[in-house]
Amino acid sequence: MSTIIYPTTNLKTGENLILEKGDGVYVYDNNGNQYLEGMAGLWCTSLGYNNQELIDAATQQLHNLSYSHMFGGKSHKVGMDLAEKLAAMLPVDNAHVFFGNSGSDANDTQIKLLHYYFAAIGKPEKRKIISRKRSYHGITVASACLTGLEVNHTNFDLPVDALGILRTDAPYYLREKLAGESEAQFVDRIVGNLEKQILAEGPETIAAFIAEPITGASGVIIAPDGYYEKVQALLNKYDIFFWADEVICGFGRTGNDFGSTTMGIKPDIMSLAKQLSSAYLPISAAAIRGDMYEAMIEPSNKLGVFGHGYTYSGHPVACAVALKTLEIYERDNLFAKAAETGDYLQSKLQQYADHPLVGEVRGRGLIAAIDLQNTAKDEAFPAEVSYYLAKACQDNGLILRAVGGTAIAFCPPLIITTAQIDEMMEKFAKAMAATEAYVQEQGLM
């Protein structure tokens, strides 16, 4: 076993797959076995593997300027160009962006920017943040406090209360509905709970509400119709920012530019990473409204410095790769193509809607999940079933991921073709058959 402490892994098991190379939508292990990468790595390799244009962009930038920090106003053209390109794309008013290295640090940055801004406008008490149960926003200390998954909290002694993180209902109708409750009634109940929470805490103390437009690690949860419209109206009523965590949904994943577009959200601030560079190099962006930035200028002037930044903020090579990635998205009309292939994927997955092991099939664009359920008993299977299914997929040359305890997620590269989706479905069918046999053998039905 390696001396690596593996992330998000059962430390008792160690390695189970050692990859050596990738090309297009496929990866290959150290024994030469091929796998269709149905998770785009970790929701991120949108342009697949071995994209020569991205390799060339990185190589050229390494020759030109391999590194420069951005402290003290030092800058470089590729970083400035990327910021301008992003600002023009984002559904945030007069967007200004802060570059980092990961979705986790983008969310940490946003917490600090919110605190800084509200202190600057004379409202330092407006610092609490409402997050949702079953959410995922990262694993650094602050972003893990935002995350609403037990596995990311247990044994870590996180300062949730000290950071003013509140928790509200997940819009997860399948698992959280009451007996006989319609989707519309469910939405009214949980949005009503949110309003009660806001009033109990005091709207003047709440800075923002954070949400993934469509969740990832918690099970690709898609809110019922009307949910975001009513949440947005509530936040506007009480002067609370809508913070869209677009780390997974951003840049074409849902068949639109951003998940906020797909789900009808108008965000005040946004966190971005993953597909920003097709994961070829680590880079993230925390985007805020222009009026927030303007309010922060004079306080930084009084101190002589805005005291936040990372060594690799705006790393020139990462910026060059991200800029080329955005160019490819636009040139090749990839968001629209992802919508088309996404519709094909969603239609193929519907064959499992009435499967005896399936409670729900859900998705948008090229992100989806099959939620496993003992339909005979109308109850969720234990997590071991989704883990078994993920391993069965791997045994059949397909990489998917068990998420949320009961679901299996699909998130292939945006460049996947319909023929490759057919191949993915053939491999998945074999894995489902093996899982059904396993469930019967274990007496779980």
320-330 exposure pattern, b = at least 16 Cβ within 10 A, e = fewer: bbbbbbbebbe
Give me the percent of the chain exceeding a pLDDT of 70: 100
Domain assignments of the chain as residue spans, ordered by start = 19-50+333-441, 54-331
pLDDT tens digits, 179-201: 999 999 999 999 999 999 999 99
- Measured from the Cβ of residue 59, the count of other Cβ atoms closer than 10 Å reads 13
DSSP-derived pairing of the beta strands 407-410 and 358-364: unpaired
Whether the model pTM is above 0.95: yes
Helix H or strand E segment including 22: strand 19-23
Give the tokens for residue 341.
């292939």
- 140 CA to centre of own chain: 15
pLDDT at 445: 81
Helix H or strand E segment including 360: strand 358-364
Burial of 205 (0-12, 13-18, 19+ CB in 10 A): middle
Confidence of residue 87 (pLDDT cuts 50, 70, 90): very high
DSSP-derived pairing of the beta strands 19-23 and 26-29: antiparallel
Q: Which residues pair with 208 in a beta bridge?
A: 129, 241
Q: What is the DSSP letter of 223?
A: P
- The 128-132 sheet, strands edge to edge: 96-100, 284-288, 269-272, 241-245, 206-211, 128-132, 165-168
- Answer yes or no: is pLDDT of 29 > 90: yes
- Dihedral angle over CA of 413, 417, 422, 427, nearest 10: -30
CATH class of 54-331: alpha beta
Confidence of residue 1 (pLDDT cuts 50, 70, 90): confident
pLDDT tens digits, 224-264: 999 999 999 999 999 999 999 999 999 999 999 999 999 99
pLDDT at 14: 80
Query: For the domain with range 19-50+333-441, which CATH number is right: 3.30.210.10, 3.90.1150.10, 3.30.70.20, 2.50.20.20?
Result: 3.90.1150.10
- Rounded to whole angstroms, the Cα distance separating 8 from 71 reads 33
Give the tokens for residue 377.
């008993």
Task: Name which of 2-16, 141-155, 159-173, 251-265 the model is least confident about.
Answer: 2-16
